[in-house]
Amino acid sequence: MFDSIFKSDSVSVLPIFICVLVSLIDGIILAFLYNFKNKANKDFLTTIAILPAVVTIVIALVNGNIGAGIAVAGAFSLIRFRSAPGTAKEICIIFVTLAAGLAFGMGYIAYGVIFSLVIGLVMLLLQSFNIFNKNDKMKSLRIVVPENLNYMEAFNEVFSKYTTKYELVKAKTTNLGSMYKLSYNVTLKNVNEIKLFIDDLRCLNGNLEISLEDNLSENSEL
């Protein structure tokens, strides 16, 4: 059951066909599992569905030589796509499909199915039960303020009302020095009060630009 279906070094049609068929089914199941909670776009789900089969074909055609297969697959990295960087969840599911494709390409169908389905179900359960939901309260706040505002103390009262922790991590001038752009890391008391939080900040910064994002650890360019 757990042995490779490739019994010799020669490439035969039937084992490859079986591996590709199983990898397609496995990819479709992974796409459904991923979409159940994440609601991804159609193009990305299509990629998840067919990627295991693509990797399976590459590995199978090089007779299970993983080094050669990775070298061939690495050639695709020379192609640059105009797309936004993927999220951590997207990168994770891509690696799961790649690993499943490697297993199928080597002929280890049982290992590939068990591995991919277990990982997919674990990801689904972790998101369904919100085990790490406390991180939802950690946000990256960006505020534009006029240059004459004492931003070191102006927002303290609002921060104390809506956050359990806040930290100014970056400040820079903009608009020829007439404004400041501030970046804070904040931990909210209640994620349902985001609108009230922003409305109170708008009253203090002259109704200038404010943004609140999830990517706490990425203090990107303001």
Q: Is the domain of 59 the same as that of 88?
A: yes
Q: Is the domain of 103 the same as that of 209?
A: no
Highest mean pLDDT among 12-21, 103-112, 158-167, 212-221: 158-167
Q: Is the domain of 17 the same as that of 117?
A: yes
- Mean pLDDT computed over 62-73: 62
The parent domain of residue 24 ranges over: 13-128
Q: Is the domain of 124 the same as that of 145?
A: no
pLDDT tens-place string over residues 98-140:
889 888 888 888 998 999 889 988 888 887 776 666 566 789 9
Q: Is the domain of 123 the same as that of 197?
A: no
* The total number of residues written for the chain in this structure: 222
> What whole-number distance in Å separates Cα of residue 14 and Cα of residue 12?
6
Which CA distances in Å does 53 have to 24, 60, 96, 132, 204? 5, 10, 13, 32, 56
pLDDT for residue 35: 85
pTM of the model: 0.62
Q: Is the domain of 68 the same as that of 92?
A: yes
Q: Is the domain of 61 the same as that of 28?
A: yes
Number of domains in the chain: 2
Average pLDDT, the chain: 82
Lowest mean pLDDT among 69-73, 79-83, 129-133: 79-83
Residues 6 or more apart whose Cβ sits within 8 Å of residue 140: 183, 184, 185, 186, 212, 213, 214, 215, 216, 218, 219
Q: Is the domain of 123 the same as that of 151?
A: no
Both tokens of residue 141? 């706040």
pLDDT for residue 73: 57
